[in-house]
Structure 1
Amino acid sequence: MKIGLDLFLEKDYQTFVGKRIGLLTNLTGVNGRLIPAIDLFHEHDGIELTALYGPEHGIRGDAKEGEEVASSIDPYTGIPVFSLYGETKKPTKEMLDSVDTIVFDLQDIGSRYFTYIYSMAYAMEACAEYGKQFVVLDRPNPISGIPMEGNLIEQDIRSFVGLYPIPNRHGMTVGELAKFFNYEMGIHCNLTVIQMEGWDRSLYYDETDLFWVPSSPNTTGVDMTILYPGTCLIEGTNISEGRGTTKPFEYIGAPFMDGYHFARTFNDKKLPGVLARPISYRPNIQKYKGEVCEGVQLHIVDRHQFQSFQTGLTVLELIAEMYPNNFRFNQNETGKYFFDLLAGSSTLREIILKGKSQIFLEDCQKQLEQFAKQRGPYLLY
């Protein structure tokens, strides 16, 4: 197969000869031989690379989640790097003065919480506003392009971890999302998508011939990305989602949990395609840093049967039921719940506490049917 980056450098760049190019990318923007797009563009005789733009985690991927990144000069190329995860998340006019076209080359992970797709959307908005072209170099959805899971975001709960009404697992590539955002969300920028060749939407990332490059410090592999549409919700609670371990979003626990009891109770639910194994671990950052947590590691038995969103809700529901005096949804200093932003819902917290998630899941199916029809015209593969 060939990704959008390969095809752009082979032939499509010719359309943009004479244009000043800005590249929105990071360490995931590499070709099949792991050469960075930054280097390939910088050294290409037919491409005038004049600016770089970096999303969350920075252009070299060395910033932790949520950490603001400053604009800088890239030490390897000498090209200005404009941060889109610092003072602004949307390119300003000044950030775009040195370019005619922005080229987007980032590896998404297939979940709506992941901020790269919203950096793309904001850059598209800026290009529409200031008369610039926008080009997406398409890459695979690492958790395939067929299954969809979850709910659509409520209008009043949109944020940078859920900007548009798409489900938790959307089943689209960045190129397809760009087309969807451009028309369904009314951006209307001058958009070009460089499609892949040889990718089938049933494929998971480890079924391609591409090397795995972590999209962020905690995207450790394909199993983690399959779990993430459900286990990311745990971030909005006082339960450790495994950050600070070798298995973030696979490990789930807290000092007050009994891992053996929880694993047995979870496995008794017989959820499709997943088993829980009791574990103890000591996170080295964030929640319960340095403390022993008991809990489980979730193991995917059958990725084609597994339902991540259902699994995440079941985990939270069980913890709330088993540890009612310890479990809580975290609030910020203004009393807002980060969980609501992740969930895209103002009601899911109470539904979990009442043990009624099955009703919520049934409503999700109706929303997914609606989204499947809406996304249909924008699918490229």
Structure 2
Amino acid sequence: MLKKWSFVTLAIVLLFSSLSATVSSQGGGDANKEVAQKAEPFQLGVEVLLQEQLDEIRGKNVGLITNPTGVDQNLNSIVDLLHNHPDVNLVALYGPEHGVRGDAQAGEYVEFYIDEKTGLPVYSLYGETRKPTPDMLEDVDVLLFDIQDVGTRFYTYIYTMAYAMEAAAENDIEFIVLDRPNPLGGTKVQGPVLEPDYASFVGLYPIPLRHGMTVGELALLFNEEFEIGADLNVVEMNGWKRSMYYDDTPLHWVLPSPNMPTLDTALVYPGAALIEGTNVSEGRGTTKPFELIGAPFIDGTDLAEQLNALELPGVTFRAAYFTPMFSKHSGELSGGVQIHIDDVKTFDPVETGLAVVKTIHDMYPDDFQFRAENEAGISFFDNLIGNGWIREEISKGTSVAEMKERWQEDLRDFKQIRRNYLLYTVSVTDLKTLVDDYAERGEIANDRAVHSLQVHLTAVERFEGQALADKVVKHMTSFIQLLDYQKEQGFMSEQAHAALKGEAEALMGQW
């Protein structure tokens, strides 16, 4: 049956090659933004709360977990927005790693203090305790969480959230997550799933390095799959789509932490941060943390040549020399590379990061070292990657491709669980409607072109209803190829192609 369907589809595609109808492009502009604005204006969770769901906190004593990223689209601090709102009683603030105002470096403990601007108590969740104590929660009726995550398992804010959810459950306090975008988009899920024996504050739960979820979606998953049992509510964003990277939104980039200065940093972080588990500098103490990688014993030109020879997708390595102002190799001239992303959609940060670690390991066997093991035989590198076997395989000379293949089964299992907690989803019905919308606007050439697209989507719809992930992905891949063909033949406008492809990739990313 499938072979017959594929043959019919091929025949339709070949028929299109004889058509002369063309469609002119409707102009430039980012398709993700265009589609989002057409559907609904973009709003953060905090904006939805204050404009549409204020009753969730009205008349209650509110505790707020936040940092400098807790701002609205106009960069107004949520602390000030809540403190100055006549219908909100904000009674306490809680700061994660780096503090509420973001003035502490990585790993630096933060103590209790009084916020000068509001006079509110600020309790540290990265000091003597990482979980709010009953005394910290005294008189609090509802805890809000509003922090920008960066889409990577070992970024600690999501575990601050998880511990706070536990405390809220234990003290009968409501917990509300004000959702924010995943800067890396919501379609790609990459890297090994953490093994429980390697759990730590840089990886508390068995999720992949790049999880492809928002903080609100993670909160739902943590609460259910790991039996936290909090009275949880997620205030969803409006206008965010899974295919959107951070720069597809109207938001300014606010540093989530001192060493996350740009979106480029966040994009390389899921893999480049693995360098933290070695004696090589990950670029802390420079203006390009995690983009610059190096050490005094490395020849940057040689390393760049070796890495570029791997022909990794979407990335180029440039020889670089730098002197960190602090952290590893402080004050020492270090040779290495800068990671330059050429194509964000094909770039795999985890594969790239592992390739960098393995290549330096192989090139400099007498100088390169993983961080020392603890009493349990676990290196910090193991905590970051989420297991002990990858470090062993690197030492054995195993290829990155072989290592990548080994974690695929766990990744497929996680994706199946993940689907149950995704809030921002695309269905085949949505795609069919979008095809019809663009057809009505004259951006798809004719009825035959539309029919071909709808035939593909009808087949996918059947597999979607049966929850057959592999078949959904396979046939959506075919659908995307047809979109590319129609654009190349002039049957579809650039704008329609980009929008439909973005939504198609988002649907695939759910599976």
TM-score above 0.5: yes
The aligned residue for residue 270 of structure 1 is 311
Residue 90 of structure 1: CA displacement? Answer: 0.5
The aligned residue for residue 158 of structure 2 is 117
TM-score, normalised with respect to structure 1: 0.98
Of 357, 372, 376, the match for 2:415:
372
Q: How many angstroms apart in 2 are the aligned matches of 1:38 and 1:240?
A: 35
1:195 is aligned to 2:236: yes
Gaps of 5+ in 1: none
The aligned residue for residue 346 of structure 1 is 388
Gaps of 5+ in 2: 1-41, 425-511
Residue 351 of structure 1: CA displacement? Answer: 1.1
Q: Secondary structure of the residue that 1:318 maps to in structure 2?
A: helix
Point out the more displaced range, 150-159 or 363-372.
363-372
The aligned residue for residue 467 of structure 2 is none
Q: How do 1:277-356 residues align onto structure 2 when only pairs under 5 Å count?
A: 277-331=318-372, 336-356=378-398
Residue 200 of structure 1: CA displacement? Answer: 0.7
Residue 172 of structure 1: CA displacement? Answer: 0.2
Residue 276 of structure 1: CA displacement? Answer: 0.3
Q: Secondary structure of the residue that 1:123 maps to in structure 2?
A: helix
The aligned residue for residue 403 of structure 2 is 360
Contact 1:55–1:83 (Cα < 8 Å) also in 2:
yes
| Structure 1 residues 333 and 374: alpha-carbon distance in aligned structure 2, compared to 1, 3 A threshold | closer
Q: How many angstroms apart in 2 are the aligned matches of 1:355 and 1:168?
A: 22
Residue 333 of structure 1: CA displacement? Answer: 7.1
TM-score, normalised with respect to structure 2: 0.74
Contact 2:83–2:118 (Cα < 8 Å) also in 1:
yes
Residue 271 of structure 1: CA displacement? Answer: 0.4
Percent identical pairs in the alignment equals 52
Q: How many angstroms apart in 2 are the aligned matches of 1:111 and 1:5?
A: 22
Q: How do 1:1-381 residues align onto structure 2 when only pairs under 5 Å count?
A: 1-331=42-372, 336-356=378-398, 357-381=400-424
In proportion to residue count, which structure has more helix?
Answer: 2
| Structure 1 residues 352 and 37: alpha-carbon distance in aligned structure 2, compared to 1, 3 A threshold | same
Residue 226 of structure 1: CA displacement? Answer: 1.0
Contact 1:51–1:98 (Cα < 8 Å) also in 2:
no
Q: Secondary structure of the residue that 1:275 maps to in structure 2?
A: strand
Amino acid corresponding to residue 346 of structure 1 in structure 2 = G
Q: How many angstroms apart in 2 are the aligned matches of 1:129 and 1:21?
A: 17
Q: How far does the alpha carbon of each residue in 1:21-49 deviate from its partner, in whole angstroms, 9 at most, with x for none?
A: 00000100000110100000000011100
Q: How many angstroms apart in 2 are the aligned matches of 1:311 and 1:288?
A: 23
Residue 11 of structure 1: CA displacement? Answer: 2.3
> Considering only aligned residues, what root-mean-square deviation do their CA atoms show, in Å?
1.0
| Structure 1 residues 333 and 183: alpha-carbon distance in aligned structure 2, compared to 1, 3 A threshold | closer
Q: How many angstroms apart in 1 are the aligned matches of 2:158 and 2:60?
A: 24
Q: How many angstroms apart in 2 are the aligned matches of 1:363 and 1:292?
A: 37
**Moved segments of 4+, more than 6 Å:** none
Q: How far does the alpha carbon of each residue in 1:241-274 deviate from its partner, in whole angstroms, 9 at most, with x for none?
A: 0000010000011111111111011101000000
Amino acid corresponding to residue 414 of structure 2 in structure 1 = F
